[in-house]
A and B are shown apart, each in its own frame.
Chain A
Amino acid sequence: MIKEKGQINENQEENLATSSKVESPWTIVGRRLRKNKLAMIGLVVITILSLAAIFAPFITGIPRDITNLANTNAPPSSEHLLGTDSLGRDMLTRLAYGGRISLTVGFVSTSLRILIGVILGGIAGYYGKGIDNVIMRIADIFSCLPFLPIAITFVAVLGPSIYNIMIVLAILGWPGIARIVRAEILSLREREFMEAATALGIGDFKKIVSHLIPNTMASIIVSATTGIASAILTESALSFLGLGVAPPTPTWGNMMYDAQSQYVLKNRWWQWVPPGIIIFLAVISLNLLGDGLRDALDPRLKQ
């Protein structure tokens, strides 16, 4: 509706502007979000972690994969703030670099998931009937796949690489998004502004892309935020088991691989506690942000 503003004659538009300052929906959401302390803490933490990942080379200045066999398994010291791993590599450096992979996997796999989910959910919701039925039954099938076992199988079969992890997370996760988008479009389709769009002779594609999808953005953003969090959890679990991203590329999960040995678990806390805490922090921050966004986007849901 706001889009059609250009068609209101200039006089009226001026009147509107002077009588009351019209805030865009996103400004309102931003203001509500800023009031939510927990969500802001989440945003700050996830920003810090992202910045640390982006500027990883500058955190310690130590190269990522440089091994030092004279200084393996060293406890934290002023030289290595979080100690070294079994190959003498600096833990703090690898934690920062690990963030690059873990956060990228979370972000890219969620984007892929949303892309598939929005396209299929959009088509299903808009066209309805047979197409809807076919797409949603396929979604049912995909959501019946047991998540971790299939992820493990997929990665084992195609090889443990960051790309295969992203692909499997997207393949297993799209039905959730498709259902949300479909449900929203089903109800939006019947609204007056869509009737107006039809009257103006706008084509199906444009109707879906520029009128329907933008109206589902709120729900998509919320589930994307928590989706990134669960993607990070899955990637770290797979990598921890040695079934995810393969070394020497560090991820928060595969850095903890050594802790499967009882000796490391008992004697070298610095090799598994910090990555675990970082994963926890990243995930809880994204969840806090997701909750905050949900409340800000739809205050009716706030409890």
Chain B
Amino acid sequence: MGRFITRRLLQQIPILIGVSILVFSIIQLAPGDPLASYTQDPNMTKETLEALKEAHGLNKSPVLQYIDYVKNALQGNFGFSFQLKQPVEKLIAERLWPTFYIAFGSLIISIIIAIPIGVISATKQYSVFDYAGTVFALAGISIPAFFLALLLKKWLAIDLRLFPLSGIETPGAMYTGFARMMDYLRHTFIPLIVLGLTGAGGLMRYTRSSMLEVVRQDYIRTARAKGLKERVVIYKHALRNALIPVITLLGFTLPTLFSGAVITEIMFALPGMGKLQHQAVMQRDYPVLMGTNLFLAIFTLLGNLLADISYALVDPRIRLD
């Protein structure tokens, strides 16, 4: 197992280099340079601007700039935001946990909704429950997350006044402990539900079809034939095997959630990576854009890796290849 993980980790390195080159190239396509905002500053002389450019290596060729960037990044230095006047790694570190919280929170909601419904749908194939579940899953896949967010915001936050409209906590309330946690939960309830519901659709369909495949296997017939209770057959013998592919899917869902969180973070003014990214786009803050994209790409890689490893953990056959 250790060898498997090491090999997988090593395989991610060239991919990570490729991803960083791609992201760097996209940012390089931008007109102007990170110092563009300074050119409007009347106190900024041409000489200072040149000196700043020199100091940040902006006069070098893109290839050399990339090498510089990697060298610095390896030392934990991801550049400097000229708009926010702060180092990029600090900005990202501050915004990391709201994004993680939203991504993992909504993943848990998706799992709680999707897996039981998927399993029951499969065991009662073609029943009313199955039909309703299938429609629900399809609707979850098809509804634009931002539209669902608008609907819930209008209904739960504006009409019923059950939840706050935006933000991650009540400003100035200074709650501590449990009260603070509940405050967070109240503020993020709608975004969590939105991402949880839209994510549940795919997961539910996947669980259902995986379960349907497993219950047709010979060993399930054997389990039934030896007189096991249906409950034991389904939840002990079938479910375990049906969940193997579902676990892989979860690993792949995580990155989607990180990037999907962008929409909800912007709509609900949650101070996460997505919001930071949006701000950077609006202010043309290229060092920040480079940093957020790179970090989100690393999360994607880690998500895939996690999927691989968990797959190998639950299914020993995988480790052989």
Query: What residues make up the interface of A, taking CB atoms closer than 8 Å to B?
Result: 137-138, 140-142, 144-150, 152-154, 156-158, 229, 233, 236-237, 240-241, 243, 253, 256, 259-260, 262, 265-266, 269, 272, 276, 279-280, 283-284, 287-288, 291, 303
Contacts and interface: CB of A to CB of B under 8 A. Distances in A.
A279 B144 contact: yes
Given A141-B15, A144-B297, A146-B255, A156 B154 contact: no
A144 B304 contact: yes
Contacts of A156: 281, 284, 289
B293 A153 contact: yes
A185 to B, nearest CB: 21
Q: Which of A154, A156, A269, A284 has the most CB of B within 10 A?
A: A156
Contact of A237 (B146, B154, B299, B304): B146
Q: Most chain-B Cβ atoms within 10 A of its Cβ — which of A142, A240, A279?
A: A240
A87 B307 CA distance: 49
18 contacts: A137-B18, A144-B19, A147-B259, A148-B259, A153-B27, A153-B277, A236-B144, A237-B144, A241-B278, A262-B158, A262-B165, A272-B150, A276-B144, A283-B143, A283-B144, A287-B138, A288-B138, A303-B209
Interface in B43-62: none
B292 interface: yes
Contacts of B297: 144-146
Given A152-B262, A157-B27, A157-B30, A142 B143 contact: no
A233 B259 CA distance: 14
Given A141-B22, A142-B22, A144-B15, A303 B146 contact: no
B158 A265 contact: yes
B300 A145 contact: yes
A240 B304 CA distance: 29
List 5 A-B pairs, minimum CB-CB distance, nearest first.
A141-B18, A146-B296, A276-B147, A284-B142, A156-B281
Q: Which of A142, A150, A260 has the most chain B CB within a 10 Å cutoff?
A: A150
Contact of B289 (A153, A233, A291): A153
Contacts of A284: 138-139, 142-143
B243 to A, nearest CB: 17
B275 to A, nearest CB: 11
Given A256-B147, A280-B144, A284-B142, A146 B259 contact: yes
B78 interface: no
A280 to B, nearest CB: 5
Nearest to A262: B165
Interface in B264-296: 266-267, 274, 277-278, 281, 284, 289, 292-293, 296
B142 A280 contact: yes
B254 to A, nearest CB: 11
Contact of B29 (A148, A157, A276): A157
A152 B145 CA distance: 16
B37 interface: no
A253 to B, nearest CB: 8
Contacts of B86: none
A269 to B, nearest CB: 8
A291 B141 CA distance: 13
Interface in B86-136: 125
A279 B147 contact: yes
A88 B266 CA distance: 27
A147 B300 CA distance: 10
Contacts of A283: 141-144
B311 interface: no
Interface in B181-225: 208-209, 212-213
B22 A149 contact: no
Nearest to A148: B259
Contacts of B304: 144
Given A152-B281, A237-B263, A284-B138, A141 B296 contact: no
B83 interface: no
Given A148-B259, A157-B30, A241 B266 contact: yes
Given A253-B144, A265-B154, A303-B208, 18 more contacts: A137-B15, A144-B300, A145-B19, A149-B274, A150-B23, A150-B26, A152-B262, A153-B289, A156-B281, A157-B29, A158-B29, A236-B144, A276-B144, A280-B139, A280-B147, A284-B138, A287-B142, A303-B213
Contacts of A150: 23, 26, 293
Contacts of B154: 265-266, 269
Contacts of A269: 154
B151 A276 contact: yes
B259 A149 contact: yes
B259 A259 contact: no
